[in-house]
Structure 1
Amino acid sequence: MKKFTLNLKIVFSFTACLTFCVFSGFNSPEENTVFIQNMLTKYYDNDGQNQEVKRYEINVTNTGFCRYRKVYTNGKEEFFAFNLSRFKAMDYYGTNTKGDLYLRTKNDDVIIQTRNDSQGEIDSMGTYLVIPLKNIDVAELNALAENFKRINQTLLASNK
Structure 2
Amino acid sequence: MKKFTLSLKKSVFFSSCLVLCVFSGFNSAEEHTVTIQQLLTKYHDNDALGRDVKRFEINVTNTGFCRYRKVFNNGKQEYFAFNLSRLKSMDYYGNVERGELYLRTKNDDVIVQTRNDKKGDIDSMGTYLVIPLKNINVEQLNELSLNFKQVNESLLVASNK
TM-score of the aligned structures, taking structure 1 as reference length: 0.92
Structure 2 distance, partners of 1:59, 1:100, is: 18
Q: Structure 1: which 5+ residue stretches go unaligned?
A: none
- Describe the shift of the 1:103–1:142 C-alpha distance in structure 2 as closer, same or farther (beyond 3 A): same
Instruction: Give the AA of the match of 1:45.
Output: D
Q: Which moved more, 1:49-58 or 1:107-116?
A: 49-58
Q: Given the alignment of the two structures, is residue 94 of structure 1 paired with residue 127 of structure 2, yes or no? A: no
Count of residue pairs the alignment pairs up: 160
C-alpha displacement of 1:9: 4.3
- Aligned partner of 1:146 in structure 2 is 146
Q: What pairs up with 1:68-79 in 2 under 5 angstroms?
A: 68-79=68-79
Structure 2 distance, partners of 1:119, 1:21, is: 57
Percent same amino acid at aligned positions? 69
Structure 2 distance, partners of 1:110, 1:50, is: 23
SS in structure 1 of the partner of residue 46 of structure 2: coil
C-alpha displacement of 1:4: 4.3
Instruction: Give the AA of the match of 2:26.
Output: F
Q: Structure 2: which 5+ residue stretches go unaligned?
A: none
C-alpha displacement of 1:53: 1.4
Cα deviations across residues 64-114 of structure 1 (Å, max 9, x unaligned)? Answer: 111110001122110000111111110111111211111110011101011
RMSD over aligned Cα, in angstroms? 1.5
Q: Given the alignment of the two structures, is residue 105 of structure 1 paired with residue 108 of structure 2, yes or no? A: no
Q: Given the alignment of the two structures, is residue 55 of structure 1 paired with residue 55 of structure 2, yes or no? A: yes
Structure 2 distance, partners of 1:50, 1:91, is: 22
Structure 2 distance, partners of 1:93, 1:53, is: 22
- Aligned partner of 1:157 in structure 2 is 157
Q: Which moved more, 1:44-53 or 1:28-37?
A: 44-53
C-alpha displacement of 1:17: 2.3
- Aligned partner of 2:30 in structure 1 is 30
C-alpha displacement of 1:50: 4.2
C-alpha displacement of 1:22: 0.5
Instruction: Give the AA of the match of 2:57.
Output: E
